[in-house]
């Protein structure tokens, strides 16, 4: 039997400021929560869109155990071979099999083995295959190989994320939603024992519009004209959750939101 373990999951890291916020706060988060596993969504880490091997390596070197991605996975071509080579970086499992990368991995920890699965929603998102049967296939592939499972459901529609929580309740340790960059107030343990939240939020500049410079986002929306977006540098925060996983396989005891300002980070 596995032992109980804790998992820190950090929501979408946006830009250099988001990465610096993560790296600055990680040591104190380790002190406070003693996470056995750290998983970070890095889909906006490179200038607000996508990720590069350099940034991913920096995060892994800082003690991040796995990186999940989303709709911005393929923004930077230089990451394509890295997605195939590095087991700890995940693009949504329900992308086409022909697309670079893979959708799940296993992290060996001192307190058991954590399976991490990345999924993309299908509503208002571009994902080649449906998320729900892919979640089942991923769990089938991981059966017997893991003690805990964390699913990052990267989706636009809250309905699809709630539904994925119910679909996997009792079969995984946690289903955490990402992509909308705004944390939701519904973190809870579902009746079957799965920790759930619709959106973890983002790690980066809260002073913008979901990461983009405020004036640029406003100009775009007010004038309805095309404009180049840059990442905001105002008011960095880290948004995450800590999940305490039971020693009983695929059950969570607790999910706690972590919403921390990082005023000293620039
Ligand atoms: Fe994102
Ligand atoms: Fe996204």
Encode pLDDT of 156-206 as tens digits: 999 999 999 999 999 999 999 999 999 999 999 999 999 999 999 999 999
Region 105-124 average pLDDT: 96
pLDDT tops 80 at residue 54: yes
C-alpha 110 to ligand 1 mean position (Å): 30
Least confident of 42-56, 164-178, 238-252: 238-252
- Tell me which ligand sits closest to the C-alpha of residue 202: 1
Question: Which ligand gives the minimal distance to the CA of 182?
Answer: 1
Question: 3-class SS at 61?
Answer: helix
Q: What is the 247 CA–ligand 1 centroid distance (Å)?
A: 32
Based on its alpha-carbon atoms, the radius of gyration of the chain, rounded to whole angstroms, reads: 17
Based on the number of CB atoms within 10 Å of its own CB, is 88 exposed (0-12), middle (13-18) or buried (19 or more)? Answer: middle
Alpha helices for 145-254 (secondary structure H): 158-168, 214-223
Would you say residue 247 has pLDDT above 90? no
What is the pLDDT confidence band of residue 97, given thresholds at 50, 70 and 90?
A: very high
Q: What integer pLDDT is reported at residue 4 of this predicted model?
A: 86
Return the bridge partners of 116, or none: 105, 150
**Residues assigned a catalytic role:** 72
pLDDT at 148 over 80: yes
Average pLDDT over all residues of the chain: 97
Among all bound ligands, the one having the nearest atom to the CA of 127 is 2
pLDDT mean over 243-250: 90
pLDDT at 2 over 60: no
Q: Is the pLDDT of residue 132 over 90?
A: yes
Helices (H), the chain: 15-33, 53-61, 80-85, 131-142, 158-168, 214-223
Task: Please tell me the predicted confidence (pLDDT) of residue 10.
Answer: 98
CA of 90 from ligand 1 middle (Å) equals 14
pLDDT of residue 3: 67
As a whole number of angstroms, the distance between CA 54 and CA 70 comes to 18
**What is the value of pTM for the model shown?**
0.98
CA of 41 to the centre of ligand 2 (A): 9
pLDDT for 1 equals 47
Q: Nearest 5 degrees, angle CA 148-CA 149-CA 154?
A: 155
* 23 token code pair: 């790296």
- Per cent of the chain over pLDDT 70 is 99
């Amino acid at each position: 039997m596995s032992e109980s373990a804790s998992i820190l999951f950090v929501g979408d890291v946006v830009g250099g400021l988001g990465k610096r916020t993560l790296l600055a706060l990680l040591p104190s988060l380790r002190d406070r929560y003693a996470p056995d596993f750290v998983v970070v969504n890095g889909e906006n880490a490179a200038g607000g869109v996508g990720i590069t091997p350099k940034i991913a390596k920096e995060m892994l070197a800082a003690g991040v155990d796995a990186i999940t991605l989303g709709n911005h996975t393929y923004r930077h071509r230089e990451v394509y071979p890295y997605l195939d080579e590095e087991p700890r970086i995940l693009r949504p499992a329900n992308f086409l099999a022909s697309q670079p990368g893979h959708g799940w991995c296993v992290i060996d920890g001192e307190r058991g083995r954590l399976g991490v699965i990345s999924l993309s929603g299908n509503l208002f998102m571009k994902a080649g295959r449906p998320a729900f049967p892919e979640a089942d296939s991923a769990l089938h592939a991981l059966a017997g190989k893991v003690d805990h499972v964390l699913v990052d459901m990267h989706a636009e529609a809250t309905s699809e994320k709630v539904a994925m929580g119910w679909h996997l309740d009792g079969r995984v340790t946690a289903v955490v939603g990402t992509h909308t960059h705004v944390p939701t107030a519904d973190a809870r343990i579902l009746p079957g024992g799965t920790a759930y939240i619709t959106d973890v939020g983002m790690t980066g500049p809260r002073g913008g519009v979901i990461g983009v410079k405020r004036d640029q986002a406003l100009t775009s929306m007010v004038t309805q004209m095309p404009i180049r977006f840059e990442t905001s540098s105002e008011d960095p925060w880290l948004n995450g959750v800590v999940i305490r996983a039971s020693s009983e396989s695929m059950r969570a005891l607790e999910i706690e939101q972590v919403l921390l300002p990082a005023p000293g980070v620039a």
